[in-house]
Amino acid sequence: MAKARKLVIGGASAFAEIAREYFDADSDYQVVGFTVEQAHLQQSVLHGLPVVPFEALEQHFAPADHAFHAAVTYTQLNRLRARLAASAKARGYALASYVSSRAFVWRNVQFGEHCFVFEDNTVQPFVRIGDNVVLWSGNHIGHHSVIEDHCFVSSHVVVSGFCRVGRASFLGVNATLANNVTLGKDNWVGPNTVLMKDTADGALFRSEQSEPARVSAPRFFRVAA
């Protein structure tokens, strides 16, 4: 049976493909097309659905009949995703959110609009999540914490209790915020980074690349290469 709510996905990248899969399989929305800004339009069809110029979106999908979701990652510190969503909303499109049925979200969690929450996220009581936030798979968002607008939280991140993640920030895989930490806006937190105290706006935390040992793995384990 066809779904009553029709959705256009902003983007044609891997995230757009993934978003289409999740919305179709696990939401009230049916994805009917994709849209990309004209300068980046490289194909007219994706998975059997039309890909149309964002500048001419209304000519193909009427705002009264279609919702919109910008399936864009953290490009330009989340500015691109925010800009596309704001433009679509100003042109009359409702902004769709997706929250996986396989995520654990406590009953009093507050979400803004245009969010995407993957499976295996744990979002504890009294959490507030702003507009245009992506929670990739397997994160822990602790009680009484706030994630402000336009943030991207990648996989297996731990945000402990009473934290605040500043607007337009990015948290890399396995990043950890201790209790009561406030992350400034526009922060970039690299993979495996542990933060124990508040940060300034615009802070960049790079994680160190692991260096290979001088001895090879086969030699260490005494096996033939």
Give the CATH number for residue 107: 2.160.10.10
Provide the number of structural domains found in the chain. Answer: 2
pLDDT of residue 209: 83
Q: Provide the CATH number for the domain around residue 81.
A: 3.40.50.20
- Condensed to tens digits (0 to 9), the pLDDT of residues 179-219 reads 999 999 999 999 999 999 999 999 999 988 888 889 988 88
Are 85 and 106 within one domain? no
Residue 214 within a domain = no
Q: In 3-state terms, the chain is what percent helix, strand and coil (to 5)?
A: 15, 30, 55
Give residue 86's domain range.
5-96
Are 171 and 133 within one domain? yes
Residue 225 within a domain = no
Are 107 and 204 within one domain? yes
The span from the CA of 160 to the CA of 143, in Å, is 7
- Under-70 pLDDT residues of the chain: 1-2
Residue 10 within a domain = yes
pLDDT of residue 208: 84
Are 107 and 200 within one domain? yes
CB within 8 Å of 130: residues ≥ 6 apart: 112, 146, 147, 148, 149, 150, 151, 167
